Every structure is written in C-alpha cells, then in structure tokens.
Amino acid sequence: MPVKNKKKVAKAPTKKTTAKNVKSVGSKTKKKEGAEKKQPKYPSLLRGMKDILPKDESYWKNMYHTAESLATSYGFGYLETPIVEEASLFIRTLGKGTDVVDKEMYLFEDREGKKVCLRPEMTASIARAYVAHGMHVMPQPIKVWGYGPLFRYDRPQAGRYRQFHQFDCETIGVHDPGADAELIVVAYNFLRDLGLETVVHINSIGTQEDRSRYLVELVAYLRSKRSQLSEESKLRITKNPLRVLDSKEEQDQAIIEAAPQIIDWLSDESRNYFMKVLEYLDELEIPYLLQPRLVRGLDYYTDTVFELYPLDEEVRSQNALGGGGRYNGLIEQIGGQPTPAAGFALGLERVVLELKRLEEKKQVAIQEAIQAGNPPEAPVPTPKIFFAHLGDQASRRALSLIEKLRRDGVVVLHRIGNNSLKNQLEFANKQQVTHTVILGQKELQDGSIIIRDMASGIQEIVDQKKLKRELEKILQRFTMTEIK
Ligand code: AMP
C-alpha cells in the first residue's frame, strides 16, 4: 500500500505558469472538486439500510396497532427478544446450506471473543426464550407475538433490505391443525385489516422421516438432470436439494415442474394432518392455493408450510409478503423437551410497498374518473384542529390552552416559532386540518377566540372558556357523520 500511495503523490509543477496552462490547471481542479463532492463529509446510510421518515408514519403506526390488537384478540402475549444473540443459535437451527446462514448473517465477535450476530429471524430466538424461561411447565400452548427489526446481509433491491421488520406470531406446545389454521388466519386478517387482499400458498413437507425418503428420490432426479440446471441449482443438489425447488432461474423451471412432489411421499399421518388444516381454511373461507413445490428455505420446518401473496395478478409472482409453518423439532434441537410448534412472520417493508402500490393505483383511477366526468364522492375528512397564535403574549397563552386541551383529551396541532398568521394557515392547510383556532392580541384582551372552518372559511368567535366544549362538538359532529 505505501508504495502504491507514493506513486499518487502530486509532483510540484515544473513548467512556468502561463495563461494557457493556468486554464488547464483550473479545469483539472474543477473536476477534482466535483469528484470530491461525491464523497459526503458525514457518514452515509449503509447499503441496504433505510430511515423511516415522518411521511410514512401512518403506515408504521397502523401496522403496529393492527398487529397489537389482532394478536391480543387471538390470545397471543407480547414477547421481545434481544437483537443480538449467540450466532450458534441460528447456525444450528436454520441449518448450513441455507442462504441466511451461509451468506446473510451479520456475524461478529463481541469484546470477549464470543461469536454473536444480529438476529436474522425471530423464531429461533423465541424458541430459545421458551426453553430458557421453562415455559413448558406452563399451560400449553404458549402463544406469543413479536415485532421488530431483523438483519440479513442480502443483496438490496426493491422490497429487500439488510435491516427490515417483521410481525411474528408463534404457537408453541401443540400439534393440532387448528393451531396452524389459526396462525394463517391471523396473518391473513392482519393484511386484510390493513387493506390488502391476499391468497395463501400452502404445502406440507411432512415429518423429517417423510422428507428423508423424499430427498433420496429428489436428489436422484436432480442428478439425472444436472447438466440442464443453472449453476446455483447444481451447487444446491448437494448443499440443500429442497432449495432447488425455490429457484427463480428460467432454465430450471421445466425441470422443477416435472420433479417428484413431496406430497406423494407423505406418511398417512402427515397427509391426514394436512387435509385437516385445509378443511379449517375452507371452513374459515381463507383463499388458498396448493403449491406442491413450496418448501421454504429453512431446515427446521416440518408438515405445514405457507406463504402469503397479494391477490392482485400483477404482483403475485413477486416476493411473498410473509410466510411460516410448523417446526416440531426446533425446541428439542436447542435443548428443550420435544415440543411441537408453528409460527409465521410477515415482512413489513413489503406490506408498506404493497399499500403504496395500491394507493397509487387508486389515485390513477380517481384521476381517470375525474377526466371522464364522474368524480367520486369526496370522503368525509378526519377532524383535525390547528391552533394559530399571533404575538408573544398570545403564544404563551396558546401553549397553556393547548396543554389544558390535551389533558382533557382534545389534541390540537400547532407550530412553534415566530410565524405570521398567513404562514400558519398555509401550514394548517398542508396538514389538511379541518378547523383552525386563532388567538391574536384582540382575543387575548377580551377573552374570546376564533374557530375557523377551513373548508368554508366561516369564522366563529367564542368565549375562551367554552373552547373545549366547542372543539368537542366539532370532533363529535365529524364522528357522527362518519358513522352515518
Ligand atoms: P422469512 O423469514 O425468510 O420467511 O421471511 C418472511 C418475510 O419477511 C418475507 O416474506 C418478506 O416479506 C420479509 N423479508 C425477508 N427477508 C427480507 C429482506 N431482506 N428485506 C425485506 N423483507 C424481507
């Protein structure tokens, strides 16, 4: 390195400076400056990471509240595990030969030399917590939900990040088709409550024994087609043959299509179990598609496996919104008693992308309807109140009024700073507020206050003491209109 650097050391100019070469030196400097500008002086965002900005706040709040209320209503308790775990927890359970373990773990040594990692998924951590806290002695099943960030050193692209978030539910301690079906219903309802119609892709990969028998057949078949497979799939034949069925490579598709299907290798017990899960889904009217080649990448799955995709044909073939399955061997594998379990995880960045795609589609449809002369009826606006104030004294009084209102459960927006009324009203408009309360010098003196209806521009002067009651009336009026 030092030798290389030496070469780059700029030599002192030997030529005399003339008007001609001043120009050329100048243009070179300009170019250099341009190149330097590309290197930000502050640390940049890491590749594959992203900030969640206030403009997306409503998506993230909505998802959290929906997850919380749904999981609670189905009897799942909140469980939060640490983001940093011992690396071996995931290496042992997800299995070598899986992309997550082989390529995507954020692995490092802590200050004591222990191999740790940022969690790439939640199931193994929750299973560890189940064992660590002796939850097997509590009445079974243990139903828990988790929510938070995960880390995978994936190749970043649309819907694929290195830090992403999941909503996760696990039912530990029962082997019952009803538990699998309930998890699918919770995942399906979460997406439906947010406004996404989905279809469940479902399969059974049987017990470990069913799978071992099937793998003999699958590997023999794949070996016979080896020369026609993509390079990645050739490698997977020995590393993780089931994953060949997940391949998206065009040249693998016909071979995958004709491959033996695991469903034909299930024991009677596994097949009956799977049929019962499907009967539950029929009963619950959950739309599903049997996908004989759905295997999911991780080692710990047994029996039922599923993924949820948007119903919309346009994006169906793209990345799943989430998925899950049964993992009857996992708890024992990490040192617990043999314990059946199942769970799912939904990827929240993908949910936001899909919600935004639908929103855009809706906006296009509205524009088309307007152009065709059929404007849709405007939706009832959600009541939103802004508090504008003019002058130092009014500002102080406004802040104390706002605090009193907040304590009484009436939330109003306001803007701190020395702003003109025009600025504040413009801000209020941008925030799509329905009413603005205005407190100026005059109102301060006579104890009154103005309430302006932003849509009609009509202003009403009321006694400051009656402000809370007036605002409550407004909020109630809007809610009543919505209910109608
Ligand atoms: P998995 O834990 O691999 O079963 O993934 C469950 C869901 O998490 C997927 O269907 C995605 O919605 C989401 N997901 C997985 N990996 C990523 C990633 N790198 N970036 C964003 N979302 C992801």
CATH number of 385-483: 3.40.50.800
Distance in angstroms (rounded) separating the CA atoms of residues 287 and 285 = 6
Structure tokens at 410: 């009436």
CA atoms within 13 A on the CB side of 432: 4
Q: Ligand 1 center to residue 159 CA distance, Å?
A: 9
* Residue whose CA is at the smallest distance from ligand 1 atom 10: 322
> How buried is residue 79: exposed, middle or buried, by Cβ count under 10 Å (0-12/13-18/19+)?
buried
379-381-384 Cα angle (round to 5): 170
Please state, in angstroms and as integers, the Cα–Cα distance from residue 12 to each residue in 15, 24, 35, following that order: 9, 16, 22
* Residue whose CA is at the smallest distance from ligand 1 atom 12: 347
Q: Ligand 1 center to residue 322 CA distance, Å?
A: 6
Q: Ligand 1 center to residue 123 CA distance, Å?
A: 13
Ligand 1 atom with the shortest distance to the CA of 104: 19
* Domain ranges, ordered by start, for the chain: 54-207+267-357, 385-483
Q: Cα 136 from chain centroid? A: 31
Q: Ligand 1 center to residue 252 CA distance, Å?
A: 23
pLDDT of residue 479: 55
Q: Ligand 1 center to residue 161 CA distance, Å?
A: 9
pLDDT of residue 30: 46
* Residue whose CA is at the smallest distance from ligand 1 atom 8: 347
pLDDT of residue 381: 75
Residues lining ligand 1, CB < 6 A? 121, 152, 154, 159-161, 164, 166, 320-323, 345, 347, 349-350
Q: Which residues of the chain have pLDDT under 70?
A: 1-40, 313-318, 418, 478-484
Indicate the top mutation candidate among 125, 150, 191, 308 to test ligand 1's pocket, ranked by most ligand atoms within 8 A of CB: 150
pLDDT of residue 378: 76
Ligand 1 atom with the shortest distance to the CA of 162: 19
Ligand 1 atom with the shortest distance to the CA of 120: 2
* Residue whose CA is at the smallest distance from ligand 1 atom 21: 160
Ligand 1 atom with the shortest distance to the CA of 348: 12
Q: Ligand 1 center to residue 100 CA distance, Å?
A: 11
Place of tokens 């059929």: 374
Ligand 1 atom with the shortest distance to the CA of 308: 10
- Three-state DSSP at 228 gives helix
- Three-state DSSP at 2 gives helix
Ligand 1 atom with the shortest distance to the CA of 320: 10
The pTM score is: 0.83
Ligand 1 atom with the shortest distance to the CA of 346: 7
Q: Ligand 1 center to residue 108 CA distance, Å?
A: 22
Distance in angstroms (rounded) separating the CA atoms of residues 161 and 148 = 14
Dihedrals phi, psi of 404, to nearest 5 degrees: -65, -45
CATH number of 54-207+267-357: 3.30.930.10
> How buried is residue 448: exposed, middle or buried, by Cβ count under 10 Å (0-12/13-18/19+)?
middle
pLDDT of residue 17: 40
68-72-73 Cα angle (round to 5): 120
Sign of CA dihedral 225, 226, 231, 236: positive
pLDDT of residue 37: 57
Indicate the top mutation candidate among 104, 344, 349 to test ligand 1's pocket, ranked by most ligand atoms within 8 A of CB: 349
* Residue whose CA is at the smallest distance from ligand 1 atom 15: 347
Per DSSP, 146 falls in state E
pLDDT of residue 5: 39
- Three-state DSSP at 48 gives coil
Rg (CA), the chain: 30
Ligand 1 atom with the shortest distance to the CA of 161: 20
Please state, in angstroms and as integers, the Cα–Cα distance from residue 452 to each residue in 98, 174, 308, following that order: 61, 59, 47
Per DSSP, 7 falls in state H
Distance in angstroms (rounded) separating the CA atoms of residues 248 and 349 = 21
